[in-house]
Amino acid sequence: MSASSPPWTSQVPAHIGIIMDGNGRWAQKRKQLRTQGHLEGLKSAKRIVKAASDLGVRYLTLYVFSTENWKRTTEEVGFIMGLVKQYLRGELDFYRQNRIRIRHTGDPAGLPADIVKELHEAAEETRLFEGLQVILALNYGGRDEIIRAFRRLSGTGVSAGTVTEEALGQCLDNPDIPDPDLIIRSAGEYRISNFLLWEGAYSEYYFSDKLWPDWTGDDLAAAIADYQQRERRFGGLKNE
Ligand code: IPE
Ligand code: IPE
Ligand code: MG
């Protein structure tokens, strides 16, 4: 980068990851069922996908359901899976209009067969769209992804003693996608909850108290503006 060019972070982050948290609390505050919070959370996700697309973000990874979320009640898990199915199926026109490509990260092996089918179909239908890529992290855990990557790598015959960062990185779920520049978490928790552990090594983090169903495009724009004030050094020295 030449001395006269703007700092890298003045750009819109190419890849944003979001831990969409606070659906249950949003509902409880209103004396409603937690499932109602998930329904509102889905509306919020749609708003943010549109905003990210309009702002020129290239990749958006949404944490929809973690490998730990199976600990919740059967009713809540079933409701979330139903919403995912509805979202994948019902939004095809929207993806088409906005040239949005849908992808998945996480272990398909642990997901119900109908969800895997919907994910596969949405990915196929949108495969050639060159706009925003939305990566749904579903049955996703950062540790699980690393372990699955390691197993894939072992399958290539590479011996453990010669494993490199690059080789393991190439065995992650979507090796062509750049690491997230910015990771956002809503609802006032300051933890990562097993999200993008490998890819987030040098991400900038943004925490907001606002519950996920209350998020609008303005909140995304505020997170991006905050990111644009950051100085990314990647372990190097200040760029003066
Ligand atoms: C995030 O909202 C959605 C999922 C984890 C599926 P929560 O359901 O975790 O909401 P809170 O944290 O209980 O408020
Ligand atoms: C993280 O939120 C997972 C998703 C948003 C899908 P959780 O609500 O499951 O995380 P914890 O339990 O607060 O760490
Ligand atoms: Mg939560």
pLDDT tens for residues 69-119?
999 999 999 999 999 999 999 999 999 999 999 999 999 999 999 999 999
Beta-ladder partners of 207: 185
pLDDT attached to residue 8: 47
Quick one: which H or E segment has residue 17? strand 15-19
69 as an active site residue: the answer is yes
54 as an active site residue: the answer is no
* Ligand nearest to C-alpha 136: 2
Q: Report the share of the chain in percent with pLDDT over 70.
A: 95
From 8, 10, 14, select the one nearest 133 (Cα to Cα): 14
Who contacts 235 (Cβ-Cβ below 8 Å, separation ≥6)? 202
Backbone angles phi, psi at 140, to 5 degrees: -110, 135
| Domain map (residue ranges) of the chain | 15-227
Selected residue with higher pLDDT from 103 and 161: 103
| CA 22 to ligand 3 center in whole angstroms | 5
What is the tens place of the pLDDT at every residue in 172-196?
A: 999 999 999 999 999 999 999 999 9
Class of domain 15-227: alpha beta
| Whether pLDDT at 4 is above 60 | no
Distance of CA 213 to the CA centre of its chain: 16
| CA 210 to ligand 3 center in whole angstroms | 12
Q: How confident is the model at residue 60 (pLDDT cuts 50, 70, 90)?
A: very high
- Predicted TM-score (pTM) of the model is 0.95
